[in-house]
Amino acid sequence: MKDLKNNIAVVSALAAAVHTATKADAAIVDLQGANSATVVINTGAIAGAGDFTVSLVHGDESDLSDSAAVTAGDLLGEFPASLAADSAYSVGYRGVKRYLRVVITQNSGTSIAAAAVIVKGHLNLAPAV
């Protein structure tokens, strides 16, 4: 079996929690040193007939003051139109921007239990630390 662990870096983007705000902005993740990235979303319970969606923003400024929505052309795969309870999703990012952020938006309902990680791959320096 080949070694994957030493060739990826997993970054917590949105801590596992019950999110009740209309928009949950994840941490800004610096992709420097990685030549690929995959966003992984994990969901738990959804309360109040909730409709929640995922989007990504990217930019070159560390505070994402230049942020723009990631377009379908910069994604490998797609997020569902609405997140389902107790599910996992992964979508690749192939854009060229340095910083990436996950955004979960509440369109209706009460809350969602969710978390997001970004898996950085094809690292310039391995093993990952």
Domains of the chain: 5-123 (2.60.120.1110)
Biggest alpha carbon–alpha carbon distance for the chain: 45
Count H helices, E strands: the chain?
Answer: 0, 10
Q: What is the pTM of this model?
A: 0.92
Round to whole Å and give the CA distance between 36 and 113.
27
pLDDT at 1 over 80: no
pLDDT at 65 over 80: yes
The amino acid occupying position 10 is: V
